[in-house]
Amino acid sequence: MTTLWDTTGTEVVKALGEARRTAGAMVSGLALTLVVVADEKKVAEAEVAAVRAASAHPCRVLIVVRRQIDSEQPRLDAEISVGGRLGPGEAVVMRMYGRLALHAESVVLPLLAPDVPVLTWWHGDAPKKIAHDPLGVFADRRVTDAAQAPDPIAALRIRATDFAPGDTDLAWTRTTPWRSVLAGAYDNIAVRTVAARIGAEAGNPSAWLIAGWLKGRLGVEAELVTTSGPGITEVYLRLEDDSELSINRPDGHSAVLHRTGVQDRRLPLHRRDIGDQLAEELRRLDPDQPYARALSAATGITELENRPAGRQHEWMEPALANGAS
Amino acid sequence: MTHNPLRDPVDRRLPRIPEPCALVIFGGTGDLARKKLIPAVYDLAARGLLPPGFVVLGFARRDWGDSDFEQVAREAAMSHARTPWQEDVWQRLAGNMKFVGGSFDDDTAFDTLAGTLDELRDSHAIPGNAAFYLSTPPAQFPMVLRQLERTKMCDNATAGGWRRVVVEKPFGHDLPSSRELNALVDQVFTPEDVFRIDHYLGKETVQNLLALRFANTLFEPVWNSHFVDSIQITMAEDGGIGTRAAFYDATGAARDVLQNHLLQLLALTAMEEPVSFSADAIRTEKLKMLTSISLPGDKEHYAVRGQYEQGWLAGQRVPGYVQENGVPPDSTTETYVAVRLGVQTRRWAGVPFYVRTGKRLPRRVTEIGVIFKKPPYLPFAQTDTEALGNNQLVVRVQPDEGVTLKFGSKVPGSAMEVRDVAMDFLYGEAFTESSPEAYERLVLDVLLGDSTLFPHAEEVEASWKVIDPLEEYWAGRKPHMYRAGEWGPKAAEEMLERDGRHWRRP
């Protein structure tokens, strides 16, 4: 592991090359570059998650921490690790101070692995407009996390307003296990669904996205009920023939599937850690249309999937920017 | 089955999940069930790939209740599953494990089994779907199949859902016996409901071989006799025969490994591009390859059998084959076989396929090596390229799943010197989380009804047509001897030397 204090982007590129040569990392295939944007407070958490995700998909991890933007003196500190503290792959953690933080791409661009896709993940409150963050502009895939915003439901609306194909949100990723159980249960159902109810903690964006998904796929308007959590605790569906289907998960761990006329069944339905969620995102690098449709149905903002992909960087003074810390 | 509105083809986050079904394991207390099947079921449950209605039904000659079976299954999953133990994953399976005791000639036991399956319709919303896994010695297949036929458990129409059967190798011991077995299975079940397990085909790298060949432009243009000098397929094991003496001595390496695993790997390496990635299209191409395999005319030199003698392996002294427990001292069964095969197609005419397998070889490794021709002309001085060999593309099936490309590169320095370097691509064990076990994938595919990775009866029969003449030639002859811990007998080395080639050291 190499640590560079008060350094330059060029030095970081050199140090990474050197570390790769000594570690013999040339022998493994790189599938993508993962850029992580995090606050100092969350950097440890982001590192753990990125390492977990990188163990499933060989990638170069670049973690960018923006600090003290109002500091007079721009400065760059970097830690380079190949097959060390940050997992088996290549990782660089960069702390950027002062105005440099607004030009993070000047350090990151030369560090991207050549000609493989880039995924940028904001671990924290994502920018209101992704176009304001150059680290999001050059990415092929952008992953936000509405649940980490001060108002998650408003954040969903922000994501929908700003949407471009290639965006996804971890709130959507968290719905996968639920959706998969629901889809499995519907393999046996041949009648229409007439009512739906979702129980979740207040302001749970995943519950809204499941509601959006059910609305899009089944044409039912789900009622959202606040429970004490954790996360989503219940999905209830009533069918045309008056039979019921429900999944209850009171403990965030294992669920009971109830269907009229069949004995109740217990299913594992874990809340996954953020590293597993991120690994799911790294699995696919093409636009996620079902997300666009669910987000559209949840927020009422239409025509998301037909928007042009790709963004132009828009300059934004940090005083006005939302989320750039 | 009506269309499920929650399943959207573009929604690739949702995994393929089978319809509600039961997995019936005959020989539910045996080695295979405990070490592979039940752990695979647990791993599938842990990954959320089992349908809400799912029941494991064990059948064996034991006086057990459901809870005894559940206890044994729990221990099996705990000690052999790939994913870490989680109690609530097990809770999902617990209570959905049933056991029926009885022997295979016991009509009452089979009637009970049929009744138990019928009850699942109401209690577990399983509309008649069941897969029967024959994890029993092959001699008992006919009896079990007759029972399934008698009770109509094998009948899709009577059951009101699908009924599938899974058979493990060996699929017979020669062409007539495999025909007989295939005829019986295909008559009791419908041919598309029969799944023959060749666990090599469940491995990630084997599937990756198809991606490598048919998703890229780089390799296919040179994948023919114009550019390929020869192909070497190796499956080496460092282990001996373990406790399988009786079975192994009657079988030998050619029937045990060459007939199925190696010929399947050969077919996948050599086959033409299938018109689609469907089970039928791939099977058509594989079958074409298997039927175009030719045997060497000079079997004495190009179909070499070997048997290991006592020797040293991995720092330990190991006994010779005939000293193993249960092996007759005058046994002429082979534990090693190396054959030069040909593939009579325009693409491959003239390219030898050297295929070998053996026990007690220095290490456990399976690989497919594509050896390319040397350049027709080298502009360098002859001394500059002395260390330059043939370009090679090696698919490493196990361990260290991945691909190696071997090519010439200049030795850094002021002189022009070219030597071989190897470039490794590793997408397997060391770098990423462990990829799913072959059985996990195959059990899932059976439940989904996807037969892409299962050899068809015709493929099995075509493979026996390759093996039978060899066995006929070998009958009454003695195998060459090799010391345990060596890469096979001298005759196998000479086989390639005679052709001006040498074996890759895997």
Helix/strand/coil (H/E/C) assignment for every residue in A223-246 = EEEECCCCCEEEEEEEECCCCEEE
Distance of alpha carbon B336 from alpha carbon A86, whole angstroms: 45
Q: Greater confidence, A202 or A268?
A: A202
Q: Is the pLDDT of residue A319 over 80?
A: no
Are A268 and B45 a contacting pair at CB < 8 A? yes
Q: Say what the pLDDT of residue B2 is.
A: 58
Give the position of tokens 């004995």. A263
The encoded tokens of residue B62 equal 């034991």
Are A239 and A264 in a shared domain? yes
Is residue B322 within 8 angstroms of chain A, CB to CB?
Answer: no
Best A265, A282, A288 residue to mutate vs chain B (most B CBs within 10 Å): A265
Region A156-167: mean pLDDT is: 95
**B216 close to A (CB below 8 A):** no
Q: What is the DSSP secondary structure assignment for residue B385, as one 8-state letter? A: G
Tell me whether residue A325 is in a domain: no
Domains identified in chain B and CATH numbers: 21-168 (3.40.50.720), 201-498 (3.30.360.10)
Per-residue confidence (pLDDT) for residue A263, from 0 to 100: 81
Query: Are residues A182 and A108 both part of a single domain?
Result: no
d(CA A245, CA B218): 51
Domain end: A169, A191, A211, which one? A169
User: Does residue A220 form part of some domain?
Assistant: yes
Does any domain span residue A274? no
Interchain proximity B425–A280, CB inside 8 Å:
no
Same domain, A6 and A38: yes
Q: Which domain holds residue A93?
A: 2-169
CB proximity list for B84: less than 8 A, separation 6 or greater: none
Burial category of B269 from C-beta neighbours within 10 Å (exposed 0-12, middle 13-18, buried 19 and up)? buried
Where is B166: in which H helix or E strand? strand B163-168
d(CA B235, CA B255): 14
Q: What is the pLDDT of residue B133?
A: 94
CB contact under 8 A, A289 and B95: no
Instruction: Give me the pLDDT at residue B253, please.
Output: 94
Nearest to A254 among B14, B88, B430 (CB): B88
A98–chain B nearest CA distance, Å: 37
What number of C-beta contacts closer than 8 Å exist between A and B? 113
Q: Which residue has the tokens 């991995």?
A: B314
Higher pLDDT, residue B356 or A267:
B356
Residue A314 falls inside a structural domain = no
Strand (E) or helix (H) holding B245: helix B245-253
Residue written as token pair 């007989």:
B180
The answer to whether the Cβ–Cβ distance between A268 and B95 falls below 8 Å is no
Task: State the total domains in chain A.
Answer: 2
Of B5, B15, B92, the CB nearest to A180: B15
Distance between B481 CA and the closest CA of chain A, angstroms? 38
How confident is residue A203, by pLDDT bands cut at 50, 70 and 90?
Answer: very high
Amino acid at B257: V
- Verify that A9 and A97 share a domain, yes or no: yes
The residue of chain B nearest to residue A57, with distances taken between CA atoms, is B432
Select from A169, A188, A216 the last residue of a domain.
Answer: A169
Structure tokens at B207: 């599937």
Instruction: Clarify whether residues A136 and A86 are in a common domain.
Output: yes
Q: Say if the Cβ atoms of B432 and A57 lie within 8 Å.
A: yes
Residues A155, A25 share a domain: yes
Residue A211's Cβ-side half-sphere holds a number of Cα atoms within 13 Å equal to: 22
Mutate to test the interface with A, among B1, B3, B6, B50 (most CBs of A within 10 A): B6
Would you state the structure tokens that stand for residue A214, as one six-digit string? Answer: 């059910």
Place of tokens 């080298």: B378
CB B471 within 8 A of CB B255: yes
Neighbours of A228 (CB within 10 A): 10
Q: pLDDT band at residue A28, thresholds of 50, 70 and 90? A: low
pLDDT tens for each residue of A72-116 = 899 999 999 887 788 777 899 999 999 898 899 999 999 998 888
Partnered with residue B139 across adjacent β-strands are: none
Which of A220, A238, A268 terminates a domain? The answer is A268
Q: Is B199 a catalytic residue?
A: no
Q: Does the beta-carbon distance from A268 to B5 stay under 8 Å?
A: no
Chain B: residue whose CA lies nearest to A31: B427
Residue B94 identity: A
Kindly report the nearest CA distance between residue A290 and chain B, in angstroms: 6
Q: Per the domain annotation, does A90 fall within a domain?
A: yes
Q: Does B427 touch chain A (CB under 8 A)?
A: yes
Question: Do A22 and A137 belong to one domain?
Answer: yes
Chain A interface residues facing chain B, Cβ-Cβ under 8 Å?
27-29, 55-58, 88-89, 173, 176-177, 179-190, 217-218, 253-254, 257, 259, 261-263, 265-268, 270, 280, 284, 288-290
Same domain, A136 and A193: no
- Inter-chain CB proximity B86 and A55 less than 8 Å: no
Instruction: Identify the pLDDT of residue A325.
Output: 41
Strand partners, A62: A35, A92
Cβ contact, residue pair A268, B88, below 8 Å: yes
Q: Say yes or no to pLDDT of A322 above 70.
A: no
* Residues of chain A with C-beta less than 8 angstroms from the C-beta of B91: 254, 266, 268
Q: A219 is written with which tokens?
A: 């044409």
Closest CA to B338 of B198, B489, B206: B489
Among B4, B8, B13, pick the best mutation site for testing chain A contact (most A Cβ within 10 A): B13
Mean of pLDDT over chain A: 89
Whether this model's pTM surpasses 0.90? no
Residue A168 has pLDDT above 90, yes or no: yes
d(CA A114, CA B487): 41
Q: State the first-to-last Cα distance of chain A, in angstroms, to the nearest integer.
A: 27
Same domain, A19 and A86: yes
Kindly list the residues from chain B whose CB atom is less than 8 angstroms away from the CB atom of residue A52.
none
Asked if A142 and A201 sit in the same domain, the reply is no
Summarize the confidence of residues A297-310 as an average pLDDT.
Answer: 90
For strands B130-134 and B21-26, give the pairing. parallel
Residue of B nearest to A219 (CA): B5
Question: How close B191 comes to chain A (CA, Å)?
Answer: 25
Using a CB-CB distance cutoff of 8 angstroms, which residues of chain A are in contact with residue B86? Answer: 268
Do B1 and B19 form a contact (C-beta atoms < 8 A)?
Answer: yes
Name the residue among B10, B17, B92 with its Cβ closest to that of A268: B92
Residue A120 tokens, joined: 């940028």
Q: Nearest CB to B14: which of A29, A179, A189? A: A179
> Tokens 């088996």 sit at which residue?
A88
Angle between helices B175-188 and B141-150 (to 10 degrees): 20
Question: Does residue A141 share a domain with residue A64?
Answer: yes
8 Å CB contact of A267 and B12: no
Collect all residues with Cβ–Cβ distance below 8 Å to B184 and sequence separation of at least 6.
B141, B142, B145
| Positive or negative torsion for Cα B466, B469, B472, B478 | negative
Residues A185 and A49 in one domain: no
For residue B447, which residues of chain A lie inside 8 Å, CB to CB?
Answer: none
* Strand, helix or coil for residue B226: coil
Decide if A47 is inside a domain: yes
Query: CB-CB: which of B4, B95, B424 is closest to A186?
Result: B4
Both tokens of residue B169? 């190798």
Chain B CB contacts of A261 below 8 Å? 125
B432–A186 C-beta distance less than 8 A? no
Which residues of chain B does A87 touch, with a Cβ-Cβ cutoff of 8 Å? none
Whether residue A313 is predicted with pLDDT greater than 80 in this model: the reply is: yes
Minimal Cβ distance to B4: which of A28, A58, A187: A187
All residues of chain A having their beta carbon less than 8 Å from the beta carbon of residue B16 are none
Q: What is the pLDDT of residue A27?
A: 47
- Strand (E) or helix (H) holding B492: helix B490-498
Token pair listed for A192: 């229409």
User: In B81-174, which residue ranges form alpha helices assigned H by DSSP?
Assistant: 87-93, 107-123, 141-150, 156-159
Residue B432's pLDDT is what? 46
| Partners of residue B52 in chain A, C-beta under 8 Å | 181, 184-185, 257, 265, 267
Residues 7-36 of chain B with CB under 8 A from chain A are: 7-8, 10-15, 17, 19-20
Instruction: Specify the pLDDT at position B430.
Output: 41
State the pLDDT confidence band at A320, using cuts at 50, 70 and 90: very low
Mind telling me how many Å the CA of B334 is from chain A's nearest CA?
38
As a whole number of angstroms, the distance between CA B23 and CA B27 comes to 12
* Contact residues on chain B for A89, CB-CB shorter than 8 A: 431
What phi and psi values does residue A235 have, to the nearest 5 degrees? Answer: -125, 125
User: Of B265, B268, B269, B272, nearest to B346 (Cα)?
Assistant: B272
pLDDT tier at A324, thresholds 50, 70, 90: very low
Selecting from A187, A266, A270 the residue whose C-beta is nearest the C-beta of B51 gives A187
Residue B431 has its nearest CB partner, among A88, A179, A262, at A88
Catalytic residue among B3, B173, B226, B261: B261
- Residue A286 domain-assigned (yes or no): no
Print pLDDT tens along chain B (506 aa).
457 899 888 888 998 889 889 999 998 788 888 888 999 999 999 888 998 889 999 999 888 999 999 999 999 999 988 888 888 889 888 888 999 999 999 999 999 999 999 988 888 888 889 999 998 888 888 899 999 999 988 888 888 889 999 998 888 899 999 999 999 998 899 889 999 998 888 888 888 899 899 999 999 999 999 999 999 999 999 988 888 888 899 999 999 999 999 999 999 999 999 999 899 999 999 999 999 999 999 999 999 999 999 999 888 899 999 999 999 999 999 999 999 999 999 999 999 999 999 999 999 999 999 999 999 998 888 888 888 889 999 998 887 778 899 999 988 888 888 888 888 877 644 444 456 778 999 999 999 999 999 999 999 999 999 999 999 999 999 999 999 999 999 999 999 999 999 999 98
Cα–Cα distance for residue pair A94/A99, rounded to 1 Å: 14
Instruction: List chain A residues with CB under 8 Å of B396.
Output: none
Interchain contact, A268 vs B4, CB within 8 Å: no
Residue A285 lies in a domain: no
Alpha-carbon distance B57 to nearest alpha carbon in chain A (angstroms): 17
